[in-house]
Structure 1
Amino acid sequence: MQRLRSCFVRVQTWQQADKYVSAVASDLPKRNGWTIAEYVGDRGPDRVQRLLNRAVWDTDEAMRLVRRFVVDGLATAARRRRRGLVVGALDETGQQKRGTATCGVKRQYMGCAGRVENGINTVHLSYVREGLGHGLIGFRQWIPAEQIDDAKTAQAMGIPGDLLFRTKGQLAIDICTDAYTDGIRFDVMCGDEVYGACTQLREFFEHQQQAYVLRVASTFLLDLGAGVRLTCRQAVEELVDDQRRWEVRSAGTGSKGQRWYGWVQIATANPRHVLLVRRHLRTGELAFHYCYQPDGQPKSMTRLIRAAGLRWPVEEDFEFGKDQFGLDQCQARLHGAIRRHTVLVMAALAVCAVTTAQLHHRTDTQAPPPVTPDQAPPDDPGRIPLTIPETRRLLARLSHRPKPPHHAEHWTDWRRRHQARSRWFHQRTRLNREYALVN
């Protein structure tokens, strides 16, 4: 938070932001304007609402400083270890909403719900250091074109007048451009089918001489030379006719051990492009990765497999961000307020991610893994290294803020009065409605 001081015009606003970060990193079951204000000792939610909606502070600069904190912190932790891959993982996450007043809200497929729901979606970039740690370092909210083009709707939602509609792939370009401008470099970029299908994003990476391993659909067309064009599935069926071509390798270590899959690599007409195919050993399900390897950089199937296995940390960042810090509990409706909530949550996540990474080697006391199926369990299994949720719990105890006298009674009275006022207005509104049976 000391690093973020330069982003705020007034010291009081910076202090309120500091309280906000402490609150989202606390043990609050829900993190919204009311609960955060009560937790930090305010007499009402006005200060929290002002911080997100009207206070003067540079959200973009705050995001840049959070990004540098994550990258520098993980780099410091990596000095004690053998250097692994540095991966940028792109993905989007959603937050379900009710109504139509929130900026970016629309009925769309929500990965968090697994179906089409009313909600908002945001594209994120995660900075991943292999075998060490990861954290979110950039984001852009996806906003439907109809909200941007309608001047009245845009004004009501606080959408800037110069904001242009961008697809999720184009938002990924904007996020990566910010990271490159800030001097951050990645060994490999990863993403799911949303980003693998974006030609503009792939061309952007190739222009930057950035290696990538992007998931693509089975219908993605490959140019195999001599005028031959096949889909990914057709290429596997026609070119991988020998089961011995599949190599069983690990995609990395998970919580239950090595993640074993079958892998095969298919060359294309362009020597810089290859198709990496992953096969589930039990079900036979296939996953396709379109890969770009620039000249002058290592070209090996092992490197691509390692990179493909490092896409999952961004999903873990979403899980921690939502469950531990309230990333999806924002009740703000305006464009700027949603961005500010997201930045402050990412700051709290960054503190815990960097702390966890820097304490990894000191807190990992696990017993050696078993080497035979009938091996007897160790007398002392030890402890896994600190995780981000455990680090958050420890820091929450350290930053617990004392409350003013009669604070709990005040907030009980405040909530009851506010709810009574809301109920009265709802009842009055219903009196003005006409109720009649429909024939």
Structure 2
Amino acid sequence: MVRIAGRFGRVEPRAAARSYLLGLLSSVERKNCWQLAEQAGHTRPGPLQRLLRYARWDADAVRDDLRAYAAEHLGADGSVLVVDETGFLKKGRSLAGVQRQYTGTAGRIENAQVGVFLALATSRGRALIGRRLYLPEHSWCTDPGRRLVAGIPETVQFATKPQLAGEIITAVLDAGIGASRVTGDEAYGQDPRPRAGLEARGTGYVMAVACSMRVRINHGRTAVRADTVVGRLPATAWQRHRAGNGAKGPRYYDWAWIHIGTSSHHHLLIRRNRTTGELAFYLCWSPTEVSLSELVRVAGIRWSAEECFQAAKSQVGLDHYQVRHWTSWHRHITLAMHALAFLTALAADAAPQRPADPHHPAHSSGPIALTVPEIRRLFGALFHPPAVPAVRLLHWSNWRRRHQATARRSHYRRRTADESAG
């Protein structure tokens, strides 16, 4: 909180931000303004709601402080930026950017918001350092009335998810955040613009692409689908490499690579599951000579973003918000990212030196290193408020039920009006 305190010009929002962050780090079940206010000992959620909606502070400036904090505490040689998206399942039509759309969170089309994120992944840990809310083109960007209600600035125009990712990556690299390479899944690897931008500034990448992606082999003379390259490879082209560690141990796959295009800097990287034979493909570019093991390492790091989403949603309430406004969404998400980075930095500082042997856990009898969930659990226990007086419990019970009654009356009146109109 000390690092970002200066971003809040008045004492009231500064105190509210402190309460909000402590609430995100607590064991509160649902980390929305109601429950965070109750946790903080407030008599109403108003101060925290004003923090997200009306108070004067720049969420982008706090985000900049966050990424500097993450780089300072997690930065290490071989840092990688990971771009990915996650969905936030929501009800209603008035939340900024919400519509029925596919989200990997549900694995199907649902009413949801989608955010594009950038994670910093290093040997010390991983944290989310960039975020943008995706605004669908037809249902939102071209609807002035809907934009006005959700508080979407006029300067915000339609941008595809890969375009948003490119803007986030550019801002992070321009800020001097050191990263050797960038990686992402097919949604971002298929678009040539982010890849071209990275090449122009000399930043390497390992981007997943579909099997149907066309690549040029034979020194650029022949264009073929990526999956047809597999049949041209001799058995000796495949090498076994570890793509990081999973929950149950090291993840080993068979890997092959070939030069594509006319330069020695572009490669097609192919991963083969040793059990099922399932294939995955990656377009790679490096400003200098690179080894197969390095490309494999970066490809394996791509899952770091998913781990960040899981930790952020389960530990610091990334998806617990109940806000509709464009500004409120970015403010809550930024504070949740800050809380996650804080926990990750503590875990990194407390971690013992990692053994070189990837199978070390198989023959180690000691406890595992402190994890983000365990530190959050300890933090909540150490800073848990004393027993709440009965009068305060009853106050919040009455407040919630009055608010719920107001919402119910509104729903009933709208339903009655709709039936009468029909």
Q: TM-score range by the shorter chain?
A: over 0.9
Match of 1:374 in 2: none
Q: 1:434 to 1:2 in 2, by over 3 A?
A: same
State which drifts further: 141-150 or 392-401: 392-401
State which drifts further: 331-340 or 45-54: 45-54
Tell me the distance in 2 between the aligned counterparts of 1:112 and 1:368.
Answer: 31
TM-score, normalisation: structure 2: 0.94
Tell me the distance in 2 between the aligned counterparts of 1:367 and 1:119.
Answer: 39
**What does 1:306-325 correspond to in 2, within 5 Å?**
306-325=297-316
Tell me the distance in 2 between the aligned counterparts of 1:339 and 1:408.
Answer: 31
SS of the aligned residue for 1:223 comes to strand
TM-score, normalisation: structure 1: 0.90
Tell me the distance in 2 between the aligned counterparts of 1:432 and 1:412.
Answer: 30
TM-fit CA distance, 1:403: 7.5
State which drifts further: 206-215 or 263-272: 263-272
Match of 1:18 in 2: 18
Residues 99 and 111 in structure 2, CA contact (< 8 A), matched pair in contact too: yes
Output one character per residue of 1:247-270: Cα deviation in whole Å (capped at 9) or x when no partner. 111112223222110000111123
Match of 2:368 in 1: 384
Tell me the distance in 2 between the aligned counterparts of 1:265 and 1:340.
Answer: 43
Match of 1:273 in 2: 266
Tell me the distance in 1 between the aligned counterparts of 2:414 and 2:379.
Answer: 46
Match of 2:341 in 1: 350
Tell me the distance in 1 between the aligned counterparts of 2:359 and 2:18.
Answer: 41
Tell me the distance in 2 between the aligned counterparts of 1:127 and 1:433.
Answer: 49
Q: 1:367 to 1:157 in 2, by over 3 A?
A: closer
**What does 1:71-82 correspond to in 2, within 5 Å?**
71-75=71-75
Corresponding residue to 2:191 among 189, 195, 198: 198
Match of 1:88 in 2: 81
Match of 1:229 in 2: 223
TM-fit CA distance, 1:428: 3.9
Output one character per residue of 1:10-45: Cα deviation in whole Å (capped at 9) or x when no partner. 111011011101111111111112111111111112
TM-fit CA distance, 1:433: 4.5
TM-fit CA distance, 1:430: 4.1
Residues 363 and 386 in structure 1, CA contact (< 8 A), matched pair in contact too: no
| Paired AA for residue 312 in structure 2 | G
Matched, 1:247 2:239: yes
TM-fit CA distance, 1:422: 3.0
- C-alpha root-mean-square deviation of aligned residues, in Å? 2.2
Match of 1:134 in 2: 126
Match of 1:375 in 2: none
Output one character per residue of 1:41-92: Cα deviation in whole Å (capped at 9) or x when no partner. 11112111111111100111000001111110113xx5xxxx5x21111100
SS of the aligned residue for 2:126 comes to strand
Alignment gaps of 5+ in structure 1: 372-377
Output one character per residue of 1:189-236: Cα deviation in whole Å (capped at 9) or x when no partner. 110001111111011000110000000000101012363100100111
Q: 1:170 to 1:370 in 2, by over 3 A?
A: closer
TM-fit CA distance, 1:414: 1.1
Output one character per residue of 1:270-314: Cα deviation in whole Å (capped at 9) or x when no partner. 3210001000000000000100011xx341111111111111111
Q: 1:226 to 1:142 in 2, by over 3 A?
A: closer
Corresponding residue to 1:144 among 133, 136, 144: 136
Match of 1:338 in 2: 329
Tell me the distance in 1 between the aligned counterparts of 2:296 and 2:193.
Answer: 24
Residues 250 and 261 in structure 1, CA contact (< 8 A), matched pair in contact too: yes
Match of 1:102 in 2: 95
SS of the aligned residue for 1:17 comes to helix
Tell me the distance in 1 between the aligned counterparts of 2:55 and 2:39.
Answer: 20
| Paired AA for residue 342 in structure 2 | V
Matched, 1:292 2:307: no
Residues 367 and 382 in structure 1, CA contact (< 8 A), matched pair in contact too: no
TM-fit CA distance, 1:370: 7.7
| Paired AA for residue 248 in structure 1 | R
Tell me the distance in 1 between the aligned counterparts of 2:419 and 2:296.
Answer: 64
TM-fit CA distance, 1:318: 0.2
| Paired AA for residue 350 in structure 1 | A
SS of the aligned residue for 2:301 comes to coil
Output one character per residue of 1:394-438: Cα deviation in whole Å (capped at 9) or x when no partner. 1122332457752212101111222233333434444445369x9
Q: 1:170 to 1:425 in 2, by over 3 A?
A: closer
Match of 2:384 in 1: 400
Alignment gaps of 5+ in structure 2: none
Residues 90 and 190 in structure 1, CA contact (< 8 A), matched pair in contact too: yes
| Paired AA for residue 368 in structure 2 | I
Q: 1:27 to 1:73 in 2, by over 3 A?
A: same
Q: Number of matched residues?
A: 417
Match of 1:156 in 2: 149
Q: 1:431 to 1:133 in 2, by over 3 A?
A: closer
State which drifts further: 400-409 or 110-119: 400-409
Matched, 1:418 2:410: no
Residues 223 and 229 in structure 1, CA contact (< 8 A), matched pair in contact too: yes
| Paired AA for residue 224 in structure 2 | L
